[in-house]
Structures are given as structure tokens and as C-alpha cells.
Structure 1
Amino acid sequence: MYRFLLTTPRWWAINVFVLLAIPFCIFMGSWQLGRFEDRVESHRTAEEKVSEDQREAARPLAELLPVDKETSGEQATATGRYGKQLLVPDRELDGKRGYYVLTMLRADNGKALPVVRGWLPGDADTAKAPAAPSGEVTVTGALQASESPGSDGVIAAGGLPAGQTGAISAASLVNLVPYDVYDAWVTLAEADAGMTAVPAKAPQGTGLDLKAFQNLGYTGEWFVFGGFVVFMWFRLLRREVEFAQDAELGLAEEPTSEPAEPADETRDEPKASASPTA
């Protein structure tokens, strides 16, 4: 009954496709799952590194620049005088909406380091933001890479009120402050003037971002497609077997080699009437 699986060209093609498709789907699904697991491990490692960096001794800012995945989150120190102050709205902390208080720390070389002095709840209000200490200060905090507009918690759109910025980056601040800005920023380990300290973030590309969940979604799609191939193969096999059984019992109509002739139709033709003789 099942000899047709190996004797008909149609089923040869179906079997070859199934034998190639199933391993390919399993391989691609396993590969996407491995990518997701790698991102999870990278996220866990980055989180552990942030915690370890908080316990390490701070180093001068110049030794940690430029910021990369190795130096991001490490404790840095910088000395200078506070200058222009900006607010960074729509930032969440512990599930509450608020804003960062960002102040430029001008170093002796004339460049400014963005320093997040703390977080306050509510809408961004310049009147509520504490003024920065005067005179020369030395700050210590976690070094962070410049933010990218559209990333986690970063406002991509412009049009913010004066004295506010959506992203903490040299590219965003270059038109808001009258001096050069470091391509990095620092969040203080201990916030100033009653504000809440902003914890350091893991470097970009190491978290459970959209790409990680895309890998997980692709994993499910490949495994589902592999299962669908198996399901369709069994469905086609069942239909073929049922047809063969019906043919043996005489229930299936055998295809005819010649088309059936149409039924004869009689036409009533009018008889020619004899023309009258003169």
C-alpha cells in the first residue's frame, strides 16, 4: 500500500523536500536560540561587571577614555568647576517618572564633562533643581558612554523647552553649551542635595534589547515551520492512502482516457413542403 512513496516521482520530490527541510529548520532554530542565550549571558555578565566596578577604586577620567564595553561602568574621578546646568526629562527610576539633573563640569583643559548629579521625581522643573556647588570640586562616579537617541529612555524627538536635553551625548550637547564636551558622562555615586543617585547602565549591545527577543521569536518560527512540514507530509500521506483504499473497494472513480461523447440530440428540422404546381 505504501509502495507509492518510493515508486512515484511526485512522492520522491516530496520526501526529498521533507528530509532537507526538517534538519534545516532544526539547525536554524537552534542557531537563533543560541544567539538569544548568548545575549542573555552577555547581559548577565554586564550586570555583574557594573556591580563589581562600583566596588573598585576610582581612576582618573583620562585613563578610561575613550569609553568602551570594558571601561563603561568603571568608577572615574574628575576635577573642575560646575558650569551650565540642564535637565533631562522623562527618565524613570524605580518605576517612577522624573528627570535627571545634568551639570557640565569644566576641566582645566577647557572641555566639559556631563555629570548627572541625581534624579528628581515629577516633571522637569528648573526651579526645583538644586544649584551646583561653587568653586573647584572633584567628582566620583560611574563612567558611561554617550546615549543614542531612541534607545532605552532616551528621547529621540527635539522641540524640548530651553534648558532641557533629550540625550546625554556630545552630539546633543554641542549646540546647548558654549564649550567642547567629552564624548562620555558620569553619574555620581552619591547624589547631591537630596536627589537620588542614578545607577550606572550596562553598555549598549549587552542588554536584553529588541534584537534579543527577535532571536527568540525567530527560534519559535523555525521550529513551528519544521512542525508544519511534518504535519503536511502526514496529511498528504493519509490522503494518498485513503484514495488507494477507496480504489481497491471500487469507491473511487477511475479516470477515463477518452472524454465522454456528448449525448445525441435530435433536432426537429422542418420538412420542405412541395411547391404547388401551377
Structure 2
Amino acid sequence: MSSTDSVPPQASTAAFAPTLREVMLRPWWLGMLAFALLVAAVFAWLGQWQLSRAVDTSPPPPGQTEQVRPLADVAEPGEYLPEPLVGQRVEVSGSFVAGDFDVVSSRFDRGEEGYWVTGQLRVDPESARSSEPTSLAVAVGWTSDRAEADAVAAALDADPPQDVVLTGRIISDEGPALLGRGAGPQEMTRMSPAALLSRWHDTAGLDVYRGYLTSAESFGGLTAIHSPAPEERSNVNWLNIFYAVEWAVFAGFAFYMWYRLAKDAWEKELEDLEDEHEDADVPAAGSAPSGRD
């Protein structure tokens, strides 16, 4: 019996089988590792970017929204209202435009549903700090009675207040919304200056503020709109922190995928070596077993 005949098949296979470390150090898998490093670096950068936006290092001072400021210092026509200034109390002067008062439904005041009457305020050039005609949508009062809201809107259309100085809160456009079942085609359930603009008169060359004003002073006998101060914002954005953690997990997953694929290739190579060894040990058909006559 030869010395090789005494070596078990498993030991013979193990003698030629590569280790997982040897497979990982092959050029192909080193190249895949470099690619995983690149992907992880991109994910890490995105996580760092999210983290840098998660903490506001210069939050607005407490009570800032309660200081009455000129409208021109807070917002510009056609521009979105910055988030820290949503709900800021402002002062503006101008005159309302006849025929441009509307009723907006689904307005809640201290938990009670009702209606707002709104109008187009043509802002004075000095208040707008612009020589171009400029308008601001203003909610001038609230009522729980639709008939009263319609009557006040009609009365203000006929005799719009002129040369008024208003204070109130500047609020972001609520945007459009689908009308509920049974609502009329002209029904408005959202306070949207963009939607009101399509109903206003004399709008050629008109600049319009994207936000709207809830007037502290009511008109036409309506109830003054209850518009409380916005809640003080935290200087930590937890959603951004969650996103940063997600990017860190993705970065780690890139390394895990490289390891898992390399290990799968190593295990497949071991299986192939075992199959080749088993095929070599099977005697040819019709041949006599070794060591027997």
C-alpha cells in the first residue's frame, strides 16, 4: 500500500483548499473591497451631511414670533416663507380691493368649525418697499354661520376698507386640496393665495405674497380669528438624526455584502474541490478493486 493510499479523502482535500483569508486577498476580492470602501464613504458623507442639518446651531430666540415686524422684513412677494418665520406677527398697510372678498370653509376656531372671510389687500408701495403693484391675501374674520360669512363678504365687496394698517400673523400657503363629496365647484376649503389669485381682479403685472395674513382686527362684525403663537421649535431635528443613523447602517451593510459574497465564493470553491476529489476516487466501470486478484 502506498503512502498516499493511507491519506483520508477529507485530509487530501483540505491540503489543497484555500482559506477564507486567502480568497479575500485575491485581486478580484481586493478590488471588490475597494468598491465597498467607496460606497461606504459615500454613505458616511451622506450621514455626516444629515447630522450637520440635525442640530440648529442658531435657533431663533424664544418669543421672536411675538415681536411685530414690518412685513417687508419677513417676507418677499413670490418667495416661500422661511420656516422660522411662519407665524411671525407683522404689520402692513394698504387698501382692500372691491369684489375680491371670498369665503373659505373648514376653518376651525377654538375647536369649532366655521368660515373665514378673506380679501385682497393691495399693499402700499412704502409697506411693500416696491414700486410694483403688490397684494397680500388677508383673512379678516371668522364665523360659524355660512350665511353670515356670505353677507359680510358681499358687504365688504361693495365697500372695501381703505387705508388700513393691519397686524397679524403671516402663515404659509396651505396649498390646493381635493373638494369633498357634495362640495360646489367654487367651494374653497384651503387658505391658498395661489387659488385666490385666480379669482381676483386687476392682476396684470401683480406681485403676490405666497403667504397669507390672519388679521388681528376683524371686519364686518365677524369674530377676530384666534391665531395663537406657534410652538417653539426644538433645535434638534430627530428625523435628520434618524436618516444619519440609516446612512451609517448602509455603510456597514456595504462591508457585510463584500464579506458575504467572498465567503460564498470560498464555500463554493470548497464544494467544487470535494466534488472533484470524490469523482477521482470512484473506480472506472469494470475495473477490479485495488489490492484484489
Tell whether the structures are fold-level matches, with TM greater than 0.5.
yes
Change (3 A) 1:77 1:240: closer
Match of 2:166 among 140, 147, 164: 140
1:48-197 to 2 correspondences below 5 Å: 51-56=63-68, 58=70, 66=77, 68=79, 69=81, 73=88, 75-80=90-95, 83-84=98-99, 85-91=101-107, 98-105=114-121, 113-120=136-143, 125-128=146-149, 131=152, 136=162, 138-142=164-168, 144=170, 147=173, 153-157=174-178, 160-162=184-186, 164=188, 166-169=190-193, 171-180=194-203, 183-184=208-209, 185-192=212-219, 193-197=222-226
CA distance in 1 between partners of 2:135 and 2:258 (Å):
67
Native 8 Å contact 2:140 2:218 kept in 1: yes
CA distance in 2 between partners of 1:118 and 1:41 (Å):
38
- 1:87 offset after TM fit, Å? 1.6
Change (3 A) 1:138 1:62: farther
In the alignment, structure 1 segments of 5+ residues that lack a partner are: 148-152, 266-278
CA distance in 2 between partners of 1:264 and 1:113 (Å):
97
- 1:13 offset after TM fit, Å? 2.9
CA distance in 1 between partners of 2:34 and 2:253 (Å):
16
Deviations 1:96-139 (A, max 9, x none): 65543213346789976432113456xx8243567267664624
- 1:182 offset after TM fit, Å? 5.5
Deviations 1:214-241 (A, max 9, x none): 8667545432322223333454566678
Q: Could you tell me the percent identity over the aligned residues? A: 23
User: Which residue number corresponds to residue 273 of structure 1?
Assistant: none
Q: Which SS does the other structure have where 1:253 is aligned?
A: helix
State the TM-score, normalizing by the size of structure 1: 0.56
Deviations 1:24-71 (A, max 9, x none): 322222223334x26x678x54xx59x525323557x79975465589
CA distance in 2 between partners of 1:191 and 1:65 (Å):
24
User: Which residue number corresponds to residue 224 of structure 1?
Assistant: 249
CA distance in 1 between partners of 2:135 and 2:26 (Å):
78
- 1:253 offset after TM fit, Å? 1.5
CA distance in 2 between partners of 1:163 and 1:238 (Å):
65
Deviations 1:186-242 (A, max 9, x none): 32134453242345889xxxx99xxx9986675454323222233334545666787
- 1:173 offset after TM fit, Å? 2.9
CA distance in 1 between partners of 2:52 and 2:268 (Å):
44
In the alignment, structure 2 segments of 5+ residues that lack a partner are: 1-18, 126-132, 287-293
Change (3 A) 1:196 1:107: closer
Change (3 A) 1:13 1:197: same
Change (3 A) 1:5 1:99: farther
User: Which residue number corresponds to residue 269 of structure 1?
Assistant: none
Match of 1:16 among 34, 38, 44: 34
